[in-house]
Structure 1
Amino acid sequence: MSLRCGIIGLPNVGKSTLFNALTIANVPTENYPFCTIDPHVGVVKLPDERLSSLKKVYNPNLVTNSTVEFTDIAGLVKGASKGEGLGNQFLGQIRQVNTIIHVVRCFKDENITHVTGNVDPISDVEIIETELILADIQILEKQYQKTEKLAKSGDKNNQIKFSLISSLLDHCNNGNNARTFTTNNEEIDIIGKLNLLTYKPILYVANVSESDIVNNEISDLNNKLSEYAKKGGNISISLCSKLEQEIAVLPEDEKKIYLKEYKLSDPGLNKLIKSAFNLLDLETFFTAGPKEVRSWTIKKGSTAPFAAGEIHTDFQRGFIKAEVIKYTDLIEHGSEKAVKEAGLAKLQGKEYIVCDGDCIYFHFNV
């Protein structure tokens, strides 16, 4: 499964700086709105230290990480849902991603203008979320009109859909996002197909000052955003995008020294990528051998045939069985042979639910 993240935020909050750090690309960062009118897309390796351990076991010709796709979406402004500031174009780009990374300015700097003239993270978040809700209301109103006619024909499925859309429209008209609407499993499928902006998982990124990182301080601005995220059942992390960009371009040996100097165990970017990964309820399985060690991304709860299909559709179509070795067993015993001798390699069928860290060899026939 491809993980696609859209980076959004008001102009001048540090979106493109963060994108530069993630992709080590030189996207221009200008001090005015719409410097990133065309979406910038970058593909980033999903960090996973387990690949290094598997490399030592198999000594493969190639090691391949799962990837995350990031799109730097130009700064949204008030009125975007009505098309202001090329809003329709930007909102369309957000619809194409799996999850939203909302960068929020939590630092003060007189040299960097703020679009509203005042640094207030909650106000900033509400400006954008209001535009997303308004855009969703437009979608729901069209669906309401469409399904109302179909529901009157007596079709039971359309009656259920119409009742759901009517309730969800009322919910959004009251200023609520679609994520906070209570649903059952059947309704989740219906809402998912509407591709509503406020139904997408969201990760708030507090872009803090370098001094906050150096002094290991949590500013009042950061605290406000963190509390706001919790109330909405969302996740927030903090990092300094300017500092992350500086770290990203360093050679690996210098990077370690830099991180140690700032008392950081890991780049904040790794935290961001892993948080987005967890937000979508994803997990990793591995395929491993002398030719290649590779990580693959799937939804938690996926069956073995579905996981096989991530590699190739033929694997899923002709699935016979999966030979599964737990990553921890492999590292503990040092080789596949030793794991098998210990009786820890298992043959699993079509109903097997893949677990995070499974090393799998698929048997298939087409």
Structure 2
Amino acid sequence: MSLQCGIIGLANTGKTTLFNCMSNVKAETSQFAFTSNKSNLGMIRVPDPRLAELEKFQVTEKLVPAVVEIVDIPGLAKGSSEGEGMGNSFLADIRDTDALIHVLRCFDDENLMHIDGSVDPLRDLETLDFELQVRDITSVEKKIQRTEKMVKAGVKDAKATMDALLKVRQHLENFSNVRDLDLDENEKRQIQDLSLLTIKPVLYVCNVDDASAVTGNAYTEKVMEFLKGQNAEGLIIAARLEADIADLESEEDRMEFLRDAGLTEPGVDRLVRSAYSLLNLCSFFTVGPKEIKAWTIRK
């Protein structure tokens, strides 16, 4: 199976910088908001030292790591669900993703203005959650209208579908994400075709300045405290620092850079592992003289 993650966030959070160092695809970045009108697609190789260990037992022509597909959508803003900023044109690009990586701005930079005038990651988190909830309500409402006709016509299982839809709509109208709603397996099947955005598991990435890469800062403390009560995980990553590491040609130079920064491994490696854990995935290996390959499977 292949894993696809969507990178989302408000404009000027550093999410495209993070995408670039994750995928080595050099998408355009800018200090101006809403300069992109298209999504970027890239692939991440999943770091796994077991591949090299297996090569000790089987001489092979190549090592093939598992990959994660990532989609970086245009920056969003308050009102995106109603057409502000780049509007809701991104929805088709993240509809089929398995998980969302929500990048939060946790750094100050007077040369890179926040679209709301000040840095407040919890406000940004709530803003984007609201926009996704509004889009999900729209999707649910459309299916309710179709299902009402089916209930009147006596279509089998239409009543069960309607009950599930009404339950989900009420939850969304209370400004809550569907992933936090207790749904049984039958209810999940009734809404599966909607590919709701707020039902997807989410990993929050606190993008910090270089000096905060190891210890975090006051912004990340607020985010991590908030996430304790949520069904979500948070990571601290300095995207600009990660980009500098990714630009180095040799593994030796990258490791030396990491040590100088007080890090033991690239933040991108931690991010990929967290995405695997979030989706309850693992790797298995096929071994042969042509290739040793890692495959992604569910646990």
Distance 2:217 2:253 in 1: 29
Identity across matched positions, percent: 40
Is contact 1:99-1:201 (8 Å) kept?
A: yes
Paired residues of 2:11 and 2:77 also in contact (CA < 8 A): yes
Q: 2:240 aligns with which of 236, 239, 242?
A: 242
Query: What is residue 271 of structure 1 aligned with on the other side?
Result: 270
Residue matched to 2:279? 280
Residue 134 of structure 1 pairs with residue 143 of structure 2: no
SS at match of 2:86: helix
Give deviations 1:223-277, integer Å, cap 9, x for gaps.
1111222322101100100000000111211011111112211100000111111
* TM-superposition CA deviations, 1:121-155 (whole Å, max 9, x none): 00001111100000000000011111122123333
For the pair shown, the structure with the greater C-alpha radius of gyration is 1
User: Hey, what's the Cα distance between the residues in 2 that align with 1:9 and 1:27?
Assistant: 16
Separation in 1, partners of 2:289, 2:2 = 25
2:298 maps to 299
SS at match of 2:145: helix
- Superimposed CA distance per residue, residues 178-222 of structure 1 (whole angstroms, 9 cap, x where no aligned partner): 111111122222233220010111110000111112xx3231210
CA-CA distance at 1:156 after TM superposition = 4.1
1:94 equivalent in alignment to 2:94? yes
Q: Is the 8 A contact 2:161 2:191 kept in 1?
A: no
SS state of the match for residue 28, structure 2? coil
Cα offset, 1:57, TM superposition = 1.0
* Amino acid corresponding to residue 102 of structure 1 in structure 2: H
**What does 1:176-195 align with in structure 2 at a 5 Å threshold?**
176-195=176-195
Q: Are the equivalent residues in 2 in contact too, given 1:24–1:245 (CA < 8 A)?
A: no
Listed as ranges, the matches of 1:45-194 within 5 Å are 45-194=45-194
The one-letter amino acid paired with 2:269 is: N
The one-letter amino acid of 1:19's match is F
Distance 1:239 1:53 in 2: 28
Q: Secondary structure at the match of 2:54?
A: helix
- Say whether the 8 Å CA contact 1:76–1:90 is kept in structure 2: no
**Residue ranges of structure 1 left out of the alignment (5+ in a row):** 301-366
Give the CA RMSD over aligned residues: 1.2
> What is the number of equivalent residue pairs in this alignment?
298
**Aligned-partner residue type, residue 5 of structure 1:** C
Report the equivalent of 2:26. 26
- Counterpart CA distance in 1 for 2:284 and 2:262 is 31
Q: Quick check: 1:5 aligned with 2:5? A: yes
One-letter amino acid of the structure 1 residue matched with residue 294 of structure 2: S
Instruction: Specify the SS of the correspondent of 2:56.
Output: helix
Amino acid at match of 1:60: T
**Which sections of structure 2, spanning at least 5 residues, go unmatched?**
none
Counterpart CA distance in 2 for 1:177 and 1:100 is 13
CA displacement, residues 324-362 of structure 1 (integer Å, 9 cap, x when unaligned): xxxxxxxxxxxxxxxxxxxxxxxxxxxxxxxxxxxxxxx
Check if 1:222 corresponds to 2:220. Answer: yes
Q: Is the 8 A contact 2:75 2:86 kept in 1?
A: no
Amino acid at match of 2:67: T
Q: Does 1:42 align with 2:46?
A: no
Contact 2:95 2:197 survives alignment (8 Å): yes
Counterpart amino acid of 1:238?
I
Deviations 1:59-117 (A, max 9, x none): 11121111111111110111111122232211222213211110000111111100000
Cα contact 1:36–1:72 (8 A) shared by 2: no
State the SS of the aligned residue for 2:132.
helix
Task: Give the TM-score of the pair, scaled to structure 2.
Answer: 0.96
Which one has more relative contact order, counting CA pairs under 8 Å at least 6 apart? 2
Q: Secondary structure at the match of 2:36?
A: coil
Shift of 1:25: 2.6
